[in-house]
Amino acid sequence: MLENLYPDETCSSAYEIDYEQFREKGYRAIIYDIDNTLVEHGAPANEKSLQLMERLKGLGFEIMVLSNNKEPRVKSFADDSGIGYIFKAGKPNPKQYQAAMVMMGSNTSNTLFVGDQIFTDIWGAKKAGIHSVLVGQIAKHEEIQIVLKRILEKAVLYFYKRSIKQNAGD
């Protein structure tokens, strides 16, 4: 049952992912969460995130952000980054993940999702059939409802890591 919450991969940061390797594997589109995935919660696009977006565009990726946040926050980040966006996405509902793929002209076999939360980002990507990468959160300071979810995430990650070790031993 918990397997529905397991990411396909983990990485310490969205900035440490080997995007060239994903490109070689046939991935052509990336959907990102914003807050605590690319920048601190509520922060504008910064030099690091802008450089990443330019690098990915140079590799030929279509890029969008998918956020449960309100439009002014999401639009501002996306406009500064020169990428598409969907706000008030209702993650983990897969509907807007699918809408993002339609907007980018991609599909489940060539789209990657990158986010920092299991119960919204990763679960939604899994429900949509998209390869998911769980990244470490940028800032430890978060809203109380997210802090509470992080406690539950620790339990899921414990079993996820245990399953990886068991599969490696097979």
SS3 letters across the chain: CHHHHCCCEEECCCCCCCHHHHHHCCCCEEEECCECCCECCCCCCCHHHHHHHHHHHHCCCEEEEECCCCHHHHHHHHHHHCCEEECCCCCCCCHHHHHHHHHHCCCCCCEEEEECCHHHHHHHHHHHCCEEEEECCCCCCCCHHHHHHHHHHHHHHHHHHHHHHHHHHC
- Give the least confident one: 60-74, 83-97, 149-163: 149-163
pLDDT at 133: 98
Q: Is the pTM of this model over 0.85?
A: yes
- Give the least confident one: 6-20, 40-54, 91-105, 154-168: 154-168
Q: Answer whether residue 163 shows pLDDT above 70.
A: yes
- Give the least confident one: 41-55, 89-103, 137-151: 137-151
Averaged pLDDT for residues 140-166: 72
Domains and CATH numbers, the chain: 2-169 (3.40.50.1000)
> Are 99 and 66 spatial neighbours (Cβ–Cβ below 8 Å)?
no
Please give the mean pLDDT across all residues of the chain: 91
How far apart CA 156 and CA 35 sit, in angstroms, is 21
Averaged pLDDT for residues 54-79: 97
For 25-47, the pLDDT digits (tens) are 999 999 999 999 999 988 999 99
Please, which pLDDT band fits residue 170 given cuts at 50, 70 and 90? low
pLDDT at 66: 98
Q: Answer whether residue 162 shows pLDDT above 90.
A: no
> Are 97 and 79 spatial neighbours (Cβ–Cβ below 8 Å)?
no
For the four alpha carbons of 41, 47, 51 and 53, in that order, the dihedral sign comes to positive
pLDDT at 149: 74
